Amino acid sequence: MKIGVLSIQGAVSEHLKHLNLCDVEAFPVKNQDELAEVSGLIIPGGESTTIGKLIEVSGLAGPIKERSKKGTLAVFGTCAGMVLMARDVADGSKDQPKLDLMNTRVKRNAFGRQKESFETELDFKGLDRTLTGVFIRAPIILEAGDDVEILARLSEGIVAARQANLLATSFHPELTGDARLHQLFVNICRAL
């Protein structure tokens, strides 16, 4: 099985390292040919508007939407990736780029600026013990449709969710030594 990490911005090498711990072939995805080879795609953190515009320009947005909606591509969005996957961005611009994959409404930078970044232990549905969430200028899910399973939350709102072949987190699991969320994503890919 091959799983790609969108290689436009963000912690690409860290995601690749975690995927390699899950015994899958992992590589960076920069173009449509590379995207066509993968069963799953991780959209890492970074700046959601910039990433959104670059995937449009590179021709990746259409194939990502099409394959994920058909169920032939699993997508895991972390931080900015979660914003891009949402159907609605509460504080986005009029022309906010988004993939409109997940039945969620998100707020960007919900916890404040860079200096308000933090780590906390999270209870995560389906995991046997807590995991560390690293929140850096993190978004939050304000609303989730009935078809969205809530996996983790803080008092401020939802920080992890799943909808069929889609997984999204407000935080950065690639910045810890814990590969359990990457393994969860691999399992979603294997079920396609």
- Residues tagged active-site: 79, 172, 174
Report d(CA 77, CA 60) in Å as an integer.
Answer: 15
**Beta strands, E only, the chain:** 2-6, 25-29, 40-43, 74-78, 86-89, 102-107, 118-122, 131-135, 140-144, 149-154, 157-163, 166-169
Instruction: Give 144's contacts (C-beta < 8 A, 6+ positions apart).
Output: 103, 104, 105, 150, 158, 161
Structure tokens at 93: 């611009």
Q: What are phi and psi of 83, to 5 degrees?
A: -60, -45
Nearest to 106 by CA among 158, 183, 63: 158
